[in-house]
Amino acid sequence: MSLSKEQHDFIMRMFEERRLKNYHQLNKRKQRVYTLIPEYKLLEDEVASASVARARMLIDGDETGLKEYRQKIAENASHRATLLAEHNLPENYLEPIYTCPDCQDTGYIHSEKCHCFRKQEITILYEQSNIQEMIEKENFSTLSYEYYKGEDLIRFQNAVNVSKDFIAGFDTHYQNLFFYGTVGTGKSFLSGCIAKELLSQSYSVIYFSANNLFETLSRYSFDIKSKDSLYNFYKDLYNCDLVIVDDLGTEVTNSFVTSQLFGLLNERHLRQKSTIISTNLSLEELRDRYSDRVFSRITSNYSVCKLTGQDIRIQKKLSGKLFPHKKL
């Protein structure tokens, strides 16, 4: 799976719009400074004039002149910084503005796609996963504990805390989550909460229902014409910042599914890329259905959270609730 020319051009237009927006913002800042501090513009003009003189010195090999030039430029920069500070403006106020400093809003670092480009690419390629629609309803702002009691409440509170810790430490250490338990107790909801927070921080997230994931892998794997698409799909699946596999166990399980699941878990573990899995299966059912190898990978490398209780969807239907969650 790869971008079409139209999709690539669409992303590049987004970067062009970013650059233009930031350029206009910088110009507004310059005009403000020039109006507020007329002397600042004179100092900038001195730098421009000195640059012409420097070019002549380089041609003539005038080392003494170059040394004096560097000293004057340093004094000029110090003077400008002082003027900004005197007017309560930060020293970097007139430096170029970038939405992504890593690639300077070009989308590329040398010949490699920047992480910000990859995020846009993944968003376009996997928008069929409906993650954007899901996270509008399932996020921490709509989280409620009102449907849980006793031990069920304690387990859900623990899972919420684990999810928040997962987000807080996402940039600093490798971690995975495995949510399991009875139907309708918040497993997919917490996955959505995490996805929304990480997407807002510009991480790349791919969300798949288990059924959709293995159907896609099967389609590419057994169609000889899709070899390039399969390669690109694996590349995304193995390298994006977070993969969420929702409702594991709802797919038709066979040897192909088991081998693909193990491959996904193993490759992402080797690359230290985080994964979240949710399932209604018990741990015993997980082991019996997917093999000891899969069971070992999950229990060894994932934080395991069990959720229990009555199906929240049924509770809402019985109570006549129209909205997914009451805001805390």
**How much is the CA Rg of the chain, to the nearest whole Å?**
27
Residue 2: the pLDDT is 59
Q: Are residues 156 and 251 in the same domain?
A: yes
Residue bearing tokens 């309803």: 137
- What pLDDT is stored for residue 328 in this prediction? 35
pLDDT of residue 16: 95
200-217 pLDDT, tens digit per residue, is 887 888 899 999 899 988
The last residue of a domain, from among 27, 54, 86? 86
| Residue span of the structural domain in which 77 resides | 5-86
Whether residue 101 lies inside any domain: the answer is no
On the question of pLDDT at 128 being above 70, the answer is: no
Q: Which residue has the higher pLDDT, 313 or 76?
A: 76
Query: Do residues 283 and 202 both lie within one domain?
Result: yes
Structure tokens at 37: 């501090």
| pLDDT value for 320 | 66
Last residue of a domain, one of 55, 86, 117: 86
State both tokens at 28: 């507004």
Residue 111 lies in a domain: no
In 10 A of CB 189, how many CB atoms?
27
**160 and 274 belong to one structural domain:** yes
Q: How do residues 145-203 score in pLDDT, each as one tens digit?
A: 988 999 999 999 999 999 999 999 999 999 999 999 999 999 999 999 999 999 888 78
Residue 65 reports pLDDT greater than 80: no
Banded model confidence at residue 327, pLDDT cuts 50, 70, 90: very low
Determine the pLDDT at residue 307.
96
Distance of CA 127 to the CA centre of its chain: 14
- My answer on whether 188 and 310 are in the same domain is yes
Tens digits of per-residue pLDDT, 215-242? 988 888 887 777 777 777 888 889 889 9
Number of domains in the chain: 2
Residue 247 confidence class, pLDDT cut points 50, 70, 90:
very high
Tell me, what DSSP letter sits at residue 279? E
Size of the chain in residues: 328
